[in-house]
Each structure stands twice: as structure tokens, then as C-alpha cells.
Amino acid sequence: MTDTPHFPLSAVVGADDLKLALCLTAIDPKIGGVLIEGPRGMAKSTLARGLADLLASGQFVTLPLGATEERLVGTLDLDAALSEGRAQFSPGVLAKADGGVLYVDEVNLLPDHLVDLLLDVAASGTNLIERDGISHRHSAKFVLIGTMNPEEGELRPQLLDRFGLNVALCGHTVPAERGQIIRRRLDFDSDPQHFCVEWESRQQSLRERCQKARSILASIPLDDQALAQITERCFAAGVDGLRADLVWLRAARAHAAWRGASAIAGEDIDAVAEFALRHRRREQAPPAPPHNQPQAGQQANPGEGQGQWGELPAQALPVGARREVPSWPKKP
């Protein structure tokens, strides 16, 4: 664990979809990171910090909102290059985040060119700085976590699409769950060390599960059968480009590894569908119901229309979306 205790991810109440998406991205950073949408006060930074503890380095780096390009990518000292014959590199945020989590709060308020650069490096795993014919390259492999409140401004569609997965948090939490969240937060704030010790066995189990998933990931084939299912569903969803297909396939493989399976199955494809499609799906008007279906105001199944916890109305989901049953925290 790090010197400064972070709230353990295993102790977070609810947010199962988000916890799963974060772990899948930790298993395979090539998925392209997670964009978290939701109002303030939803523990987005707490979840991101908890994720850092599951990685080998435990590194957690925050990109300040007012950061410059040099602060992000680093700088080259040309005077040192001329006098000493070598480029002296001063690392930026990307270098410091290598092997850990790079957290960008309010990513929709960052200048577009910085977001674009950030996503380029996250995809390649390498940062290249060039200045006046001198260059420096370094590893920049990190799990990218961005957050935004849509009420404070949208992210351009071109940049939105480049985030691998997208999860939306709802601020309406049932009273029992709210009470449990507050109680655990108070316990942590009063004695962080003791709280982390109490949760260490569960946190260690989570670390081991992620590590095992990473170790078997490459042995799980990105097979043609899974790809065919995904491409058909992407076409049906009307998504532009091919990024959704690739992200969905990688996320499904990471989910198979998360389960400890040796191949991608239908349940893996279904489990990550909404993560990959939510920010890429074209909004469409719902089709008229067939004559043998209930009319408006009627309900075919009394249990339909409720969310995962039974408190969210169907209207809380995007048009055409389907809430998947998360795989958190089943054992493999």
C-alpha cells in the first residue's frame, strides 16, 4: 500500500458498473481508459485512487485543470543539449504517471488540444517530445480516468469517442445505501490506517484477481466468432467508425480474464456492451410497439423498468440502452 492511505476500492459501496469498468481497464490499459460522467459528490476520485492500489506501482497522478502542455508532456533543456551534447529532459505529468493511474477531473473543461494529446499518448503508451531537431521518448503506460459533469459542458464527440469505456453515475441513491456510504467514510476519516487494515484481506483478494487476469489475458484469443457478434451489434447501434468494435472486443477479453475463463463468451460481450456503446450509440426514436404488446401506460412485467437496485426508473437510461447485470464482485 502507499504511504498515504487511500480509501480501498473493495470498501466502496455500490457503483458496481464503474468498479468493473475500472478493473477491466487495469487488466488491459489498451482498452483506452474510462470516462466517468455524473454530478459532483459521487466519489469519482475515491474510486480512481482505489484503483491505483490494484496496480503494481500504486502510482496516482492528477492532471491539474490549468496545466500547460509543457506540464503535461515535459520539457527539453536546449542549453544543456548545446553545452553538454545531450538533451536534458524534465519529466511532466505523463512520465510521472507511467505504470499507474492518470486522473483528469473535469476533462471536458481542458483545452481540446491537451485532451487530444493525452489520449494519443494513452493509446500508444509512449510520449515523444521534439524541439528544434532534438527529441526524447519515454514510456507512458497508464490507466486514464477522466471525469466530467455534463451540466458543465460537453466533450467534443471526436474526443468523447476516443475514451475506451464510458460509465454514468446517478446521484439518486437509496437511503440505506447512502447511510452505509457515509458510515464507511466516517470510519475511514477517523482512522485511515485501521480502516485499511480491516479491509486489507478483501483488497488483497481484489489485487490478486486483477493480477491473475493480467497474467492470462494474452492467452485468451480475440476470436472471429466474438468479433462477428460485436461488429453486428455495433452496426445495429449505428456507431460511427471502428473504435467501438475494437474497444468492445478488448473489454470482452478482459472480462473473460476477470472471470478466469480461457475464451470470450456471450456473457463477456454482454457485460461490457453498455460501457463501449453508451457514448457512441446514435440516439434513435423508440420503435412503435407491435399490436400484441402493451400500449402506453401498461406494463407487461411488474418488475420491468426498475434499475439494478430497484430504484431507478427506465427513463434514467439512454434511449435504446439496456442495463447489463454487472459481474462485480463474483469470484472466477
Contact (CB, 8 A) for 180 and 77 = no
**pLDDT at residue 332, as a whole number:** 42
Pick out the chain residues at pLDDT < 50: 1-2, 284-327, 329-332
d(CA 150, CA 106): 9
In terms of CATH architecture, what is 9-188? 3-Layer(aba) Sandwich (3.40)
**pLDDT at residue 165, as a whole number:** 95
Q: Which residues are catalytic?
A: 243
pTM here is: 0.77
Q: All 3 cell numbers of residue 307?
A: 434499475
Contact (CB, 8 A) for 37 and 187 = no
**pLDDT at residue 198, as a whole number:** 94
**pLDDT at residue 191, as a whole number:** 94
Q: All 3 cell numbers of residue 180?
A: 452505509
**pLDDT at residue 130, as a whole number:** 83
Annotate 60-80 with DSSP letters as a single string. Answer: EEE--TT--HHHHH-EEEHHH
**pLDDT at residue 132, as a whole number:** 72
- What residues pair up with 321 in beta bridges, in sequence order? none
For the stretch 156-215, pLDDT in tens is: 887 788 889 999 887 667 788 888 888 999 999 999 999 999 999 999 999 999 999 999
Count Cβ atoms within 10 A of the Cβ of residue 27 and give its class: 0-12 exposed, 13-18 middle, 19 or more buried: buried
Sign of CA dihedral 226, 229, 232, 235: negative
d(CA 123, CA 164): 10
d(CA 38, CA 41): 9
d(CA 5, CA 3): 6
Q: How many helices (H) and strands (E) does the chain have?
A: 13, 9
Domain spans of the chain? 9-188
The residues, any chain, with a CB within 8 Å of residue 320's CB and separated by 6 or more, are 237, 281, 283, 284, 286
d(CA 296, CA 159): 38
